[in-house]
Amino acid sequence: MKREAKLSIVIVNYNVKYFLEQCLVSLYKAIVPLAVDYYPFCADIWVVDNNSADGSVEMVREKFPHVQIIANKDNRGFSFANNQAIKSSNAEFVLLLNPDTVVAEDTFSKVLKFMDSHPDAGGLGVKMVDGKGIFLPESKRGLPTPAVAFYKISGMSRLFPKSKTFGRYHLGFLDKNENHAVDVLAGAFMLLRRQTLQKSGLLDEDYFMYGEDIDLSYRIVKAGYKNYYCADTAIIHYKGESTKKSSVNYVFVFYKAMVIFAKKHFASNRAALFAFLINTAIYLRAAAAILVRFIKRLLLPLADAGLLYLGMILFIAYWERTIRYGGKYPPILLSFFIPLYILCWIIGLFLAKGYQKPYLGKKLVIGAFWGTVIISLFYAFVDEKYRFSRAILIAGGIVAVVVFTFNRIVLRLIKERHFFMADDTALKKIMIAGSLEESQRVQILLKSTGLEYNMLGNISPSQGQGASFIGGYYEIDKLIKIYKADEVIFCSKDIAFKSIILSIEALQASGADFKIVPDGSDFIIGSNSKNEPGDYYAFISEPLAIGKKDSRMNKRGLDIIVSFALLISLPLNIWFVRHTTRYLKNIINVFSGRLTWVGYSFPETSDTESLPEIKTGILTPADELNITDLDTNTLRRLDYLYAKDYSIYMDLGILLKSFARLGKE
């Protein structure tokens, strides 16, 4: 008779292949200590893939052949997928784990010993920190009764996090460094006793995403068991990769899940009150979020327009007094044409990504230039009496650059409250903690991304140091301060995950960002905030943007607009493009829809990578990097990045940086 395993680890994956890879690497290391107590029946790993389009299933089968794979043909939700693996496994304990997590080498041995010594424990969660080492308060939570939910939604829990009345949602009054019995476990790390699941039931599949962990935690307590928060071990939960908690969609999905919970478990009158409060809060928060976002996005363009108009008034007054010797321009210049010019300069800056971070840089000049080009294109169509001095256009472009720069300096001063502005264009200062061999491999990976950086030096993973290292791992905090490092990359081949997690947690106040390169992986992974997507090849779990109908319409619209603009300005732009004959053919082919300005590097094999089909491109995402020796795998990854995050700004950026190549075959 086959003996059951001690632990089954269940991961539900959806388009986060690179985080999944790092997670699995950490799991294999954490399973090793279990062999001492539970050999040979220690643990098995299950990955349930909800129809990912990023090659997750193929990666697991190739790199982790011992992992049990369930490859769904559609996305049935988090609860359904977890239940599939729970039913197929037979271990004494089941761990529900998010793919965007990293566990320490002793995590499993510690939590299993805790469960063995606490027979009343039906479920267990652990201390979780984000990619910056900041404690995640959802590691321990209270039951969301109507009062508790109201305090959270109203913001009272944030104002008084340690209050036993107002802070019950995240149990802020409980010490995060001590073990406690809690009401609710986080689905990102949820260790469950199978015996408990047989009494409480599996995850409720009415919840597509969010709320299922609250529901199951409550049923565990109702079944006569306790849920525990264990602070004896910590894990990283990047979190920003699988959710965007600041989005309006998150507000709707999360709080609607709480309504489902209330209707299931509260008396009808309490459930009705709860639902009313939640629905009211949803629409208020959604409206507030939309309004605030709209106002924030308008503030900088309005400031640019206002100050630019003032600058043009002063310039025209000076011009009339000194050059025209008192001659006045007609009022229509200031009342109509100058506002129209300003709109063109704002549009030019918008196209040059001047309203995206970092705000400062050469894109301000590029934006003013393109704005001036737009004005010049239509200058010839204006009645001759309204063709004012071209000096106004040239001076306006210069004034625009000055105004754009001034406003962004003021914005920085207001935001950071100091008068020494950091250079947005400065190279990121990076340290690599690991062996020289791994450090060289990491630098090759960084180069393949096109990232420009300042390599500060290598940190030795051991006590012994040589001339090739700037210091040892034991003094990493001092090294960050001395060299003012922006980022530290940890090599997990040389440094234990437990040590990395402890370091990130201890260094959270340093201001540095942290990344991890898994042993044998081609990807550097991390996240600078629980709400931000990761850097480099760290992907968020969303459908590929280029496959959406709106994206396809925007892409086609941009192709037509760019082709038309290139045609009417051909006498000016043709001198900047190589292979002019082919350039003309490309304009016609894109305008007619046979080609697109930007496409994949490997359009003929896009099905292999499950990328949405688009027209063959004149340019590719690799063209803007200006690197000629990129390997096939890197080019395919760039195709995936382009498809995943597509926006018209990406196409515009590639076109601007690769303008001379528009005559490519």
| Average pLDDT rounded to a whole number, residues 474-491 | 90
CA nearest to 407, candidates 375, 368, 456: 368
Question: Positive or negative, the Cα torsion across 524, 530, 533, 535?
Answer: negative
Helix-helix angle 338-351:268-322, to 10 degrees: 120
| Cα–Cα dist 184/216, whole Å | 8
- Tell me the domain boundaries of the chain: 7-140+176-236, 428-517, 545-661
Q: Confirm if 479 and 471 have CB atoms less than 8 A apart.
A: yes
Confidence of residue 289 (pLDDT cuts 50, 70, 90): low
H helices of 32-88, where? 34-38, 56-63, 78-88
| Average pLDDT rounded to a whole number, residues 109-128 | 95
Which superfamily, per CATH, for 428-517?
Answer: NAD(P)-binding Rossmann-like Domain (3.40.50.720)
What does the pLDDT look like over 138-151, one tens digit per residue? 899 888 777 777 77
Q: What is the pLDDT of residue 538?
A: 37
Who's near 268: CB < 8 A, 6+ residues apart?
none
**pTM of this structure:** 0.64
* Whether pLDDT at 497 is above 90: yes
* Whether pLDDT at 421 is above 60: no
What does the pLDDT look like over 207-244, one tens digit per residue? 655 678 888 998 999 999 999 999 999 999 987 444 44
Strands in 469-472's sheet, in edge-to-edge order, are 469-472, 453-460, 428-433, 487-491, 513-517
More confident: 517 or 244: 517
CA nearest to 277, candidates 269, 212, 183, 211: 269
CA nearest to 378, candidates 335, 412, 347, 413: 347
* Whether pLDDT at 24 is above 80: yes
Q: Confirm if 432 and 459 have CB atoms less than 8 A apart.
A: yes
Written as one letter, the residue type at 478 is K
Question: Tokens 């309490």 identify what position?
Answer: 270
Question: Tokens 């108009």 identify what position?
Answer: 309
Written as one letter, the residue type at 481 is K
Q: What is the pLDDT of residue 529?
A: 57
Minimum mean pLDDT among 55-59, 232-236, 410-414, 508-512: which range? 410-414
| Average pLDDT rounded to a whole number, residues 365-381 | 82
| CATH 3.40.50.10470 is the classification of domain 7-140+176-236 | no
DSSP 134-186: -B-GGGSB----HHHHHHHHHTHHHHSTT-TTTTTTTTTTS-TTS-EEESB--
Question: Structure tokens of 442?
Answer: 């990491």
* Whether pLDDT at 450 is above 80: no
